[in-house]
Amino acid sequence: MSEPQPARSAPDAPSSDTEESPGLSMELVFAVQDALAEERVTEIEDLVPGLHEADAADLLETLNRDERKLLVEILGSTFDPEILPNLDVSVREEVIEWLGPTGLARAVTELDSDDAVEVFEDLDEEFQHRILSQLPQAHRMILEEGLSYPEDSAGRLMQREFVVIPSAWTVGETIDYMRAAKDLPDDFYDLYIVNPKHHPIGFLPLSRVMRTKRHVRLTEFMETDLKTIPLTMDQEDVAYLFRQYGLVSAPVVDDAGRLLGVITVDDVVHIIDEEAGDDIMKMGGVSEPDLYSAVLDTTKARFTWLVVNLLTAILASLVISLFDATIEQIVALAVLMPIVASMGGNAGTQTLTVAVRSLAMKDLTEANATRFIGKELLIGTINGVLFAVLAGGVTWLWFESLSLGIVIAAAMVINMVVAGLSGTLIPLGLEKVGVDPAIASSVFLTTVTDVIGFFAFLGLAAAFLL
């Protein structure tokens, strides 16, 4: 820690009453809602424009549609364009509609290129064209270029505003240039040093440049271990690089290795969140865009998944119907059979969750897959035996039949071993054939554990109890 002498005069520190949860306060939301209900315009003009753009975005999302529309109308031309990239897609679409092409064109002109592309990319094509035609040439070109890269690629994420320094410069020349230049980005963390072909050959965190004497050349102390990102790299891989190597910014290069843009960590933080959220949603069988999308869109998005589940449930029923004569004779089987299926499903889901998450984090790879499968198989066997004893014991006591207890115990071991195996092999197999294991694994898994669970239990019962 560095401890320079205390300064002579300075204002007092802000009060640190940060006891409550951070971010937008509920009191403010309710105050704005009240003010909107009675259209107290001046009160709203006091409350909202001072908010950080991220909090303002949260406020808009929390309001209902009518309140939201009224607020956007009241803010009018004072609406801060920085709010737009912070909004969830479905709310953003509404707000953009209310802003209209002129309002949006103004907003896009004010945003950084990466944010402008983000706001722009989800609009329908006709709307895009109308806005493009209203933009100054330079902005139009940047947007069109950004949109030409694949969705979720590094090209879409990168900022075209950044600082490059020729390799011959000294610290002094660099500082003088930065003090004079007018078109630098607001904030940046690293300088990129390029050769005459405009290839990045090194970078320097600003703190190191600042601590170095004026006469030293940048090439003398620059970092050469550059993690360059190709234009087409998927954002998931970009996030991985930032996380793995603790990057604050990274250069994006074209096929020829020329520096085209820079990705900064603040954008990556959002991607990490987004990707993790996507995985949670996919595993829960949800694919809707966000919390704020319309009821019908959401219903439709969930319907498909439920249809798949109906089919697998019917498959399980078909297995049960094979044994209807057995069940007719021993009704206890109908009472107990969900236990076997459900325990297999839950044990399998545990394994599956670890596998899917480890695959997403690149912790589970070819090199340790065999070890992982072996471990899960062992866990499945141990837990299978433990729960066979428990379920068998409960059954014996409940139905006063030792043989029924033995049958459920045997079925339990079988289903939990199968669950451990399927929980590893299904996601690994899907990953191998290029299907996202987060989205498809769990339906395959529960199909297997239901079918095997019912089949093993009822089959053993038919064989040994009749």
Site for a second copy in 353-382 (CB under 8 A): 353-354, 356-358, 361-368, 371-372, 375, 378-379, 382
Contact 279, 441 (CB under 8 A): no
**Binding-site string for a second copy from residue 112 to residue 131, where x marks contact by CB under 8 A and - marks none:** --------------------
Q: Which positions from 164 through 183 interact with a second copy, judged by CB under 8 A? A: 164-169, 175, 177-179, 181, 183
Between CA 427 and CA 259 the distance in angstroms is 37
Contact 384, 417 (CB under 8 A): yes
| Of 245, 393, 402, 464, the one binding a second copy by CB under 8 A | 245
What is the total residue count of the chain? 466
401 contributes a contact to a second copy by CB under 8 A: no
306 contributes a contact to a second copy by CB under 8 A: yes
| Of 80, 97, 288, 436, the one binding a second copy by CB under 8 A | 288
Nearer of residues 104 and 343 to a second copy, judged by Cβ = 343
| Of 198, 396, 429, 465, the one binding a second copy by CB under 8 A | 198
Nearer of residues 181 and 466 to a second copy, judged by Cβ = 181
422 contributes a contact to a second copy by CB under 8 A: no
Nearer of residues 35 and 343 to a second copy, judged by Cβ = 343
Q: Which positions from 318 through 347 interact with a second copy, judged by CB under 8 A? A: 320-321, 324, 327-328, 331-339, 341-343, 346-347
Q: Which positions from 13 through 52 interact with a second copy, judged by CB under 8 A? A: 13-16, 18-19, 21-23, 26, 29-30, 33, 52
Considering only the stretches 99-107, 128-136, 161-169, 427-435, report the one whose residues sit in contact with a second copy under the rule CB under 8 A: 161-169
Considering only the stretches 12-20, 39-47, 127-135, 427-435, report the one whose residues sit in contact with a second copy under the rule CB under 8 A: 12-20
Task: Quote the least distance from Cβ 360 to a second copy, whole Å.
Answer: 9
Q: Which positions from 73 through 102 interact with a second copy, judged by CB under 8 A? A: 88
Nearer of residues 7 and 124 to a second copy, judged by Cβ = 7
| Of 120, 149, 240, 455, the one binding a second copy by CB under 8 A | 240
Contact 20, 27 (CB under 8 A): no
Contact 287, 305 (CB under 8 A): yes
